[in-house]
Amino acid sequence: MSFPLLTATAALPALGAIATAAVPAARRTAAKWLALLVSLATLVLAVVVLVRFEPGGDRYQLTESHAWIADFGVRYELGVDGIGVALIALTALLIPFVILAGWHDADPLETRSSRWRPTQGFFALILAVEAMVILSFEATDVFLFYIFFEAMLIPMYFLIGGFGDRAHAGTDEKAAAQRSYAAVKFLLYNLVGGLIMLAAVIGLYVVAGNFSLQEIAEARANGTLDMATNTERWLFLGFFFAFAVKAPLWPLHTWLPNAMGEATAPVAVLITAVVDKVGTFAMLRFCLQLFPEASKWATPVILVLALISIVYGALLAVGQRDIKRLVAYASISHFGFIIMGIFAMTSQGQSGATLYMVNHGISTAALMLVAGFLISRRGSRLIADYGGVQKVAPVLAGTFLIGSLATLSLPGLAPFVSEFLVLVGTFTRYPVIGIIATFGIVLAALYTLVLYQRTMTGPVKPEVSAMPDLRVRELVVVTPLIALLIFLGVFPKPLTDIVNPAVEHTMSDVQKQDPKPEVEAAK
């Protein structure tokens, strides 16, 4: 193709962010509509990428390559495989819903001054994050990937620290202090991971002489690039540490509950359903492809850490009193499943992990956005402040229930397929890990059903007795997400057809084959 489709898909939200920020202070509604239209146009381009992609074709397609910093071997190289295409589609799909759900989230700040434009800034920052995330999924030059992997932290910092949750318990000063703490913690954790990765990126250049993912991987495969064992392991650890912070993997996860708790619900969705997926995606694209032997060497420890994330995150979710922090700890548990599937080194596990990235994004967006609508009505994030909501707002309660059931991976909803594949793929190679991980499912049923019971059932509390049901804008946000959860739950084939060829390539990179079944199939 002569038209740079991948560049256009990322450039459109970047230009939209600039245009939205430039809208005059008095035209905040125009800024909202501009951001929404840009996000919808980006979704159209993402669909075009999806249609143009051929699952049975070359590994990386729609490629673009241009000289950039020639003296250091840095090129502007883009390309997508099945995993990247799926995650670009997820990102482009969720951003319009994030914008619609946060339609009024920045409005109360408008009283600061006539020149202060928080509404424009809020939506411009969301579009900026979208552009950087999409470029991260497209970049096949390691240095180019690193730039956007780090750059997305800046708009996220301002979204967390500058546009916090209005339902914060306490004084405005206390709320501002906690938002600031959460934003700084998010930034510092991820910056430390990024600095360690930068050292590894430089080390990779010293060893390989360039930053091209495809060239380095090909050189490793045909034997023309031979890394010393210790060198490969140190480089792997540098990359993996940064990705584990972003993912987030225990014990590097502690920034997530603070960030999601203090952010608005749409920004919380942006964190866990979009930005954090860059970490798990990069494990598949960079760790396994560039450092296959080190990946296999580190697998036992990583599987144990993933297992701890699954059980630890679920246990802490059970004991939460704050709705948003409960969803945050549930996400830590779910990311444990994703990482476990990646490093199980089976086709079922890696296919399940990729599906889990997509399905977790949809299910978490549905649950968190409905929770945000609930919290905005009551003005509290505490579970104890609710009760009997289903009697006064049945549609809100029904959508909350479906989002909760998707979180516990109920059969018939999309996350079940991915979680099942992850567990099957893990059990065939590491049965003990697979068995223990199933306790995460039991705990998920406990924290989601208890959450629903305490907030939606029982006597109607006086504070919620006049609570309105979902409005048209809110239904427009939630309905497509629920429809997707059901559709991909009963018919995941369109997604697996895109993902499976990329997984086969990854399995080839690490020279792993699926274990043979112990019992032969009947003839």
Phi-psi region of 443 (alpha: psi -120 to 50; beta: other; left: phi over 0): alpha
Cβ 435 vs Cβ 303: under 8 Å = no
Under DSSP, the state recorded for 457 is S
Domains: count for the chain = 1
Q: Report the b/e string of 14-26 with b at 16+ CB within 10 A.
A: bebbebbbebeee
Q: Considering only CA atoms, which of 504, 493, 478 is closest in space to residue 98?
A: 478
In a domain, 125, yes or no: no
CA distance 70 to 171: 54
Residue 321 lies in a domain: yes
Q: Which two tokens stand for residue 122?
A: 């809020």
**310 inside domain:** yes
Residue 353 covered by a domain:
yes
DSSP string of 203-268? HHHHHHSS-BHHHHHHHHHHTSS---HHHHHHHHHHHHHHHHHHTT-TTS-THHHHHHHHB-HHHH
Range of the domain at 289: 131-493
Q: Identify whether 126 is part of a domain.
A: no
**363, 355 Cβ separation under 8 angstroms:** no
Token representation of residue 166: 């209005």
- The alpha carbon of residue 87 and the mean position of all alpha carbons in its chain are separated, in whole angstroms, by 9
Predicted confidence pLDDT, tens digits, the chain (523 residues)? 478 999 999 999 999 999 999 888 778 889 999 999 999 999 999 999 999 999 877 788 898 888 888 777 788 999 999 999 999 999 999 999 999 998 888 775 544 444 456 888 899 999 999 999 999 999 999 999 999 999 999 999 999 888 876 555 444 677 777 888 888 899 999 999 999 999 999 999 888 888 888 888 888 777 777 788 899 899 999 999 999 999 889 898 888 998 888 888 999 999 999 999 999 999 998 999 888 899 999 999 999 999 999 999 999 999 889 899 999 999 999 999 999 999 998 989 999 999 999 999 999 999 999 999 999 888 888 888 898 888 999 999 999 999 999 988 899 999 999 999 999 999 998 999 999 999 999 999 999 999 999 999 888 888 888 889 899 999 999 999 999 999 999 999 989 999 988 888 888 877 777 677 666 655 5
435 vs 306, 425, 428, CA distance in Å? 13, 12, 11
Q: Is residue 21 within 8 Å of 120, Cβ to Cβ? A: yes
- pLDDT of the residue at 208: 83
Is residue 248 included in any domain, yes or no? yes
195 phi, psi to nearest 5 deg: -65, -40
Output the CA–CA distances (angstroms, integers) from residue 425 to 62, 75, 348, 409, 422, in the order listed.
Answer: 31, 37, 5, 17, 5
Would 22 be classed as within a structural domain? no
Nearest to residue 362, comparing CAs of 403, 419, 401? 403
Q: Are 331 and 256 in contact (CB under 8 A)?
A: yes
Number of separate helices (H) and strands (E) present in the chain: 23, 2
At residue 174, φ and ψ (nearest 5 deg) are: -65, -45
* CA atoms of 436 and 440, how far apart (whole Å): 8
399 is a domain residue: yes
**Which residues have C-beta within 8 Å of that of residue 70, sequence separation ≥ 6?**
none
